Structures are given as C-alpha cells and as structure tokens.
C-alpha cells in the first residue's frame, strides 16, 4: 500500500511565515477534490515523482547542511551550494541578495551576587558534547539574542513566568515592583521578543530567558530519560537562542519597513521595534539556582494563580526578589548592515501565469541539528531531483513553480519579507499557494501491490534543538 505524497507529510514550522498577499482574483477556479479513493491511485507522473525520492541522498543533503555555518550574513557558501544543486536538477536558480540590519554577539556575561556577598559566574555556554562533532567547533556561535540591546544591568531580579502582559498585570495587582529590576522569564507562550518588550514596558532594566524542562512533556531527565546525545531528553546546558525583534510590529528588516532592503536604501530607526534593554538566554541548568534563591521570597505560585507558572526545576517558582541577591548582566552586540542570500529558482508553466511557491529557511543560530530547518532544506534539494526525473519524461508544470531557500528567517522573517516586498505586484497577480517545509519527517516509502517496491529508509540524527 502506498502512502500519500511526501509533500503533505512535511510539517510547517512554528517559526515560518505565511505570506499575506493581496485579495485573490475572483476569476480563479475553486479547488476541488481529485477523487475520493484512499489511498489515492497515483498517475504515471505522480509515480515517477514519488519513486524519485531517496532517503540515502536526503541524508547526504542533511549532513551537508548540518555541518555548515549558516547564521544570517555568514552563510553564502551554503546558499551557493544550494543554488548549484537546484540548477543541476533543471531549475533556473540564482542568489537573491539583500543588505539588511543584523546584530552579532561580542560579549555576554552573567553573574550572581548572593546575600552573603559572594559572587558567582553563571555559565552561558553550551559545552561540547561527546559524539556530536559540531558542538566543539570554534566557528559555532555563542549563546545570544539577535537584536538585543547592548548594556550592563545590575539589580535584584523577579521571576515573571512566561512574561506575558497578563503575567505582568497579575504581579502588578500583587504589588510587585518591576522598576530597576531584572526580569527572569520562562520560554513558552509567546514570542521571546515580546517577552523582552513586556519587561521593558514595565520598567525592567534587563531580561533573562530560560528554557524549563516542564515544557518538554514526558521526555525529561527527571522522568528517567537520558539527556542528548544519549537519549531524547533536553541537555541541561542547551540554550534556546533567537531573535528579540518585536515581530508582531515589524517582520522583515526593521530598517526598511515595507520596502526591499537593497544596498543604499534609506534606513529607518529601529528603536520602536527592537529592545532597549539587554537580554540573554540561559539553560535550565543555569536557571535552577537562580529560581531556588527566590524560594520563600515574594509571592508563591498559589498567590500568583497563573497558568503555566511553575515548571519542573527544583524550586518553588516564587516571584522574589530575594533581598541582597543581585544579578549583573552584560551584553555587548555588534550592529551592522550585512548581505544575506535567498536562493530562488523557477520552473516555468506551460499555459498559465499562476504561481506556486515552495520554500523553507536555510539559516540557523548554530552549526548542527537535523530538524528545523536542515531537514526541510534537504527535502528541497531532493524535490528538485524528483522534479528533474519528471522533466526527463517530457512533463511540464501547468503552474509556475518557485522554490525559495530563505536567509535570515531566524532574525525575524527577514529574507522572505524582503523578497515579498520586492515582488509584491507579481505575487499579488499570480500566487495561488505557498507551501513551507522547515521540518520534514523521516520518509518511508511503502509500495502499492502493482508498483515497484521501494525499501530505502534512513534515520536522521536527532536534532539537539539547541538553536530553537
């Protein structure tokens, strides 16, 4: 029995962006079901397409992407490699360059001074993991928040849950003072940039965001599972990096709102869409003693009475502050206008101007990982190989097919937003669908009784999720 097409098996990433184009023209025909059979009977062309996928080569592409430095502005080699593979497989591929505002880490430090006056440095680094050959590379990035403000903050700190507006409002009702304090915030619930914005708007002078194993479901060390790389549990020192752009206000390059960020364009100020207080991410191993130091101080979880407040660390999750316990947060960032490179490729249609776009982002915060987006990037390469097999039969697409490998997505949907701004009129007129493939599952092909059996399978290395 043959399972449904690979394309419908791909998972849309939470960090992906659905392009919001102009209102569709009414002359387009509504989408109708092809047939009611399940599993569907594949046509000759569909069979060629399906049989062209090979997990062995998918593994090769995934391994390549997992060993490249693809941080936005540093990933031109992987961009060109992608364009070359797509071109070899019959697409007209090219690098699509924009010059965008980015920030890079120069110095990040965090220390705690306990009530007895002793000072202790908090580890911010992800140590090399035995068996993971990319974790010890010198060109890997330190832990940081993209677009975070530079600065030094020394103050008592308050645990504010997930840092939502409702969390802050509830603490205000309880009389908690945020002015001049550092906010200790748990990941989850809302985008990290908005967590920092909420802390800033309520008077905090710094923000620290940690990942809590309470959000990892069953697969935790506390439940007896081994940590990565020996098991499925999150490594205690893993850190979730990411952007602190106020994404709901301005996706894309914040210095070029609403227009493509070509070299030499007029630049807008970013003060209203990027944080004005420093922030850094930390691991749950680093967060645990900071949370425990708040035990017995401030308000208890029962008093706060907010959902998703307590986590799975050995602490009471009290609000604090703890008298005499202070943090010193130092964050130094380099801000620059830097080139980024989308890869765009097309197959032209035979008899229509309608366009389908298939894409995923290529950039990552770290070297390694085979989930988001490296598995999706590997599938796009394999997809061009499969389409090439179709082209060799004389097949031509009825609609234009555009493939897109986006750069700088992790900073705030930057590469894709710039491309859409650059092509908005054409997309408004012709685009009918966008399929995003940031994360692709393992593919197992199971044969129909009347079709050739295909037994190629592979296991992707588990994504350590250190970049998320």
Residues labelled catalytic = 409
Among 134, 97, 67, 46, smallest CA distance to 378 is for 67
Three-state DSSP class for 453? coil
Residue 102's SS3 state is: strand
458 and 59 Cβ atoms separated by less than 8 Å: yes
Assess contact for 317 and 379: CB atoms under 8 A: no
Cα 324 off chain centre by? 37
How far is 78 from 53, CA to CA, in rounded Å? 22
Q: What share of the chain is helix, strand, coil (3-state, %, to 5)?
A: 25, 20, 55
Give me the phi and psi of 26, to 5 degrees please: -75, -15
Mode of pairing for the β-strands spanning 242-243 and 326-347: unpaired
| Residues written for the chain | 468
Under 8 Å between Cβ of 169 and 118:
no
Contacts of 148 (CB under 8 A, 6+ apart): 103, 196, 244, 275, 278, 279, 280, 331, 333
Provide the 8-state DSSP code for 227. Answer: B
Q: Which of 251, 165, 155, 167 minimizes the C-alpha distance to 208? A: 155
Which residue carries 């680094």 as its tokens?
A: 125
Tokens of 79: 């961009």
Residue labelled with tokens 């776009």? 357
Which residue in 333, 299, 295 sits closest to 313, CA to CA?
A: 295
> In whole angstroms, what is the distance from residue 426 CA to residue 25 CA?
13
User: How are beta strands 92-113 and 431-436 bridged, if at all?
Assistant: unpaired
- For residue 51, what are the contacts with CB-CB under 8 A and spacing of at least 6? 389, 445, 451, 452, 454
Beta-carbon contacts of 214 under 8 Å, excluding residues fewer than 6 positions away, are 310, 311, 312, 313
Burial, 266: exposed, middle or buried (Cβ in 10 Å; 0-12, 13-18, 19+)? exposed
- Give the Cα separation of 240 and 369 in Å (integer): 13
């Amino acid at each position: 029995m043959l399972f449904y097409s690979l394309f419908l098996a791909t998972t849309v990433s939470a960090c992906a962006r659905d392009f919001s184009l102009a209102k569709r023209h009414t002359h387009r025909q509504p989408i109708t079901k092809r047939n009611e059979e399940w599993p569907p009977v594949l046509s000759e062309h569909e069979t060629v397409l399906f049989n062209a996928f090979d997990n062995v080569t998918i593994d090769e592409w995934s391994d390549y992407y997992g060993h490249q430095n693809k941080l936005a502005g540093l990933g031109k080699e992987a961009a060109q490699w992608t364009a070359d593979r797509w071109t070899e497989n019959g697409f007209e591929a090219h690098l699509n360059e924009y010059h965008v505002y980015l920030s890079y880490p120069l110095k990040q430090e965090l220390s705690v001074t306990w009530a007895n006056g002793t000072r202790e440095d908090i580890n911010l680094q992800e140590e090399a993991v035995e068996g993971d050959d990319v974790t010890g590379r010198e060109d890997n990035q330190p832990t940081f928040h993209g677009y975070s403000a530079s600065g030094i903050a020394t103050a008592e700190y308050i645990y504010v849950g997930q840092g939502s507006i409702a969390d802050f409002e509830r603490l205000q009702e309880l009389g908690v003072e945020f002015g001049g304090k550092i906010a200790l915030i748990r990941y989850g619930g809302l985008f990290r940039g908005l967590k920092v914005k909420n802390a800033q708007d309520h008077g905090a002078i710094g923000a620290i965001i940690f990942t809590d194993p309470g959000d990892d479901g069953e697969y935790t060390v506390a439940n007896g599972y081994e940590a990565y790389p020996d098991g499925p549990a999150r490594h205690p020192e893993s850190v979730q990096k990411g952007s602190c752009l106020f994404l709901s206000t301005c996706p894309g390059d914040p210095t070029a709102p609403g227009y493509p960020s070509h070299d030499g364009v007029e630049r807008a100020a970013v003060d209203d869409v990027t944080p004005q207080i420093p922030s850094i991410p930390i691991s749950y191993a680093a967060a645990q003693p900071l949370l425990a130091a708040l035990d017995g101080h401030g308000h208890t979880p029962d008093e706060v009475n907010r959902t998703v407040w307590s986590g799975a660390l050995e602490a009471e999750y009290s609000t604090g502050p703890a008298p005499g316990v202070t943090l010193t947060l130092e964050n130094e960032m380099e801000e620059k206008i830097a080139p980024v490179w989308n890869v765009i490729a097309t197959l032209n249609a035979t008899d229509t101007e309608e366009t389908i776009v298939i894409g995923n982002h290529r950039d990552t915060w770290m070297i390694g990982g085979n989930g988001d987006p490296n598995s999706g990037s590997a599938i796009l390469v394999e997809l061009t190989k499969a389409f090439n097999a179709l082209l060799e039969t004389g097949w031509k697409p009825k609609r234009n097919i555009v493939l897109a490998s986006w750069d700088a997505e992790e900073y705030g949907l930057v590469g894709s937003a710039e491309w859409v701004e650059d092509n908005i009129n054409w997309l408004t007129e012709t685009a009918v669908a966008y399929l995003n493939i940031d994360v692709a599952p393992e593919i197992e092909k199971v044969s129909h009784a009347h079709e050739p059996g295909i037994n190629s399978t592979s296991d992707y290395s588990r994504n350590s999720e250190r970049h998320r």
